[in-house]
Amino acid sequence: MRLHTLTLRCTGLLLTLLTSALSQAQTPDTMPNTTPPNCPSILNHSFNRLQDEAPQNLCQYAGKVILVVNTASYCGFTGQYEGLEALYAKYKDKGLVVLGFPSNDFGKQEPGSDKEIADFCFNTYAVKFPMFSKSVVSGPNSNPLYQALAKETGRTPKWNFYKYLIDRNGKVVDSFNSLTGPQSKSVISAIEKAL
């Protein structure tokens, strides 16, 4: 009986040591791939939501048509929030999602905190489409999504309210400069084609 108990204890200790050694041996290079299945690489990034700063992986939008927009509260194009919200309301049940990324990159027109930006968006324009924490969208320090968008298209935002359209397969199919409003014929046509 004593030998059996001792054997069980040694086996348990050995398992504990092995498990500990294996978990310590896993470096980021050796850890298993945690990419969700069927998630295009361009979407496999997490950002904090604007309204509550909770992390959210963009993979949850895989299979949807996505309009990515860098936004600012104090810009001549800020009124485009209204058009973006109208697009989202009209096409969300068909598979469109608009993703807003506030940025202070251009003209310092988004100086506020995330809370101030959220209050402005939700109270002034009743924005319901997903918005994320303020980040950099141009240059070498841009957030990972905008780095991927620039790499795939060879184009970067030159001002606030630049738009990228991503199809259901995660391929960037079009982009629109700030002068092209969200309810322009070219944007609507591209969205309807992608849907």
59 part of the active site = no
Q: Long-range contacts: 175-180, Cβ < 8 Å, 24+?
A: 178/77
Of the candidates 144, 195, 192, 189, which has an alpha carbon nearest to the alpha carbon of residue 169? 195
Of the candidates 168, 171, 176, which has an alpha carbon nearest to the alpha carbon of residue 151? 171
Sheet holding 163-166, edge to edge: 96-102, 65-71, 163-166, 172-176
Q: Which one is catalytic: 10, 39, 59, 75?
A: 75
List active site positions.
Answer: 75
